Amino acid sequence: MDTIVALASAQGRAGVAIVRVSGPCAWAVCEALAGFVPPVREARLARLRDASGGLIDSGLVLCFAEGASFTGEKICEFQVHGSIAVVGALLRACLACEGVRAAEAGEFTRRAFLGGRMDLTEVEALADLIDAETEVQRRQALTVMEGSAARVIEGWREDLLQSLAMLEAALDFADEELPPDLTGHVMAPLLRVRDSLGAQIAGRKASEAVRSGFDVAIVGPVNAGKSSLLNALAGREAAITSSRAGTTRDVIEVRMEIAGLAVTLIDTAGLREAEDEIERLGIERGRARAAAADLRVYLLGAPGEVAEGVEPEDIVVLSKADLWGQPGISAATGEGIGALIGRIAGVLQQRIAHSSVFNRERHFDKLARAAEGVDAALAGLSGGVGWDLVGEDVKAAIRALDGIIGRVDVEDVLGRIFSSFCIGK
C-alpha cells in the first residue's frame, strides 16, 4: 500500500497537533524529518526539518511497529505545536518524501479493518465513539469496540457450525449407522441461536435510541405551560411564551442530556379545536410528532382535567402547581421539575436495560436474514425436508452473520461507512 499522511487531531488552532504517517515508508519519513527513528512506542523530542534543512518545529516523535499499530502497518506520529502554519509546513514536508500521499477520509481506519485489526462492527463503533454526545452513548460505543457484538456472533456461529457439521455427516455417511436422535442434536443448537437472535432483535428500538437519542414530547391543552416547561428543562429561552393561548404554532425541538442519555424535547402546539388554518396545521403536526415520540409528558392545565390517549409509561402531571396549591410542576418556581426529570430518566433507563449490542439498521437487516435461515432450517427438520436443504438454510444464516462483522458481502457498505470518518482517522 501507499504510505499516507494526515492531521489526526482536530483542524484549526490548538495547543498540540498530531500528524500521523502510516505505511511502509513511515519510518523513512521519520528519519528524513527528525534525523532518527526512536525506539518503538518510546516518544522522543526532535527538531523537525524539511528537505532543505529548514526548521519546521520542535516536537515529540513516536513510532509503532508493523503488526502492533492501529492500522497494522508501520506508523510514525509527530506531536507538534497546534499552529495552522506549523501543521501545514509539516504536512508539506511529509508529502515531499518519496511514496507518501495525503490520506483519504477514513483511510487509516479502513486499513485497520483490511489488516484484520478491527471487524466491521468495531469500525462502526469507533465512528459512534467519535460522535458520542452523552455518557451512555460513549459506553455503548466502547462496549462494541471491545468486541461484544463480535463475541455474540461467534457464539451463534459456533452453534450453527455444530448443526451444519452433523448435517453434513449425515449426508456423507448416509449408509452407516447414525445416532438415533440426530435430528434432536441438530435442532438443539439451532433453537439456542433462534432464541438469542430473537432477544437481540427485540432490543433493537432501545439500542438505536441510545445511539440516536430519545424523543420526549410535551403534550397538553393550550396555555398549559408546555413552552415554559421546555424552557425550564432546557435551561434557556428556547420557545416563546405568552399568556395568550395558542402561541406555539409549530413543533419546537431542543436537544439535551438526561441521565447520560441523549434526549430531544418536543414542544407541540396546544390541543384544541382551532379555527385558524395555521394553528390547525400546527396541532396536527404536533399530534403526529407526539404519537411517534418514545415518551410523552402530558400537562394538565388545571385540576380535574383528563389526559386523553395516554399510554402506560407516559407521564401525566399537573402544570402551574404554584397556582393550584396541589402537587405537580411549576416552570415559574421550579417546583417538581427535578422530580419530573427523574421520572423521565427512570422510564428511559428501564427501556435500555434490555437493549441489543447491535445498533444499526444494517446489523438488524442481517440479523433478520439470519433468523429467517434458522427458522427455515428448523421448519425443514420438523417437516422432514432433506438434510441438504436444511444445510443450505443454516449456511444462509452463517453468511448473514458473517456480513455483520465484515467477513463477506461488505463491499457495498464500506464506502458509506468510511466516508463518514474525518480525514486523519
Residues forming the annotated binding site for Mg(2+)? 227, 248
Helix (DSSP H) and strand (DSSP E) numbers for the chain? 15, 11
Element spanning 48, H or E: strand 44-49
Mark the binding-site residues, compressed into ranges.
Answer: 20, 77, 117, 223-228, 242-248, 267-270, 425
Strands 55-64 and 44-49, how do they pair? antiparallel
Query: Partners of 46 in the beta sheet?
Result: 59
Radius of gyration, alpha carbons of the chain: 29
Q: What residues contact residue 393 under an 8 Å CB cut-off, 6+ apart? A: 373, 374, 376, 377, 380
Q: Which of 340, 328, 397, 402 lies closest to 368, judged by CA?
A: 397
**E strands in 158-283:** 214-219, 252-258, 261-267
The DSSP call for residue 364 is: H
Q: Note whether 7 and 17 are within 8 A (CB).
A: yes
Q: How far apart are CA 201 and CA 354, in angstroms?
A: 11
Q: Which of 84, 88, 100, 82 lies closest to 31, judged by CA?
A: 100
Report angle CA 423, 408, 196 to the nearest 5 degrees. 105
Q: How far apart are CA 416 and CA 413, in angstroms?
A: 5
For residue 376, how many other CB atoms are within 10 A of its CB?
A: 18
Q: Which of 62, 45, 50 lies closest to 8, judged by CA?
A: 62
Mark the binding-site residues for GTP, compressed into ranges.
Answer: 223-228, 242-248, 267-270
Q: How far apart are CA 236 and CA 231, in angstroms?
A: 5
Mark the binding-site residues for (6S)-5-formyl-5,6,7,8-tetrahydrofolate, compressed into ranges.
Answer: 20, 77, 117, 425
| Position 377, amino acid | A
Q: How far apart are CA 127 and CA 101, in angstroms?
A: 24
Q: Note whether 17 and 80 are within 8 A (CB).
A: yes
Q: Cα-flanking dihedrals φ and ψ of residue 206, to 5°?
A: -65, -45
DSSP string, 207-229: HHHHHH-EEEEEE-BTTSSHHHH
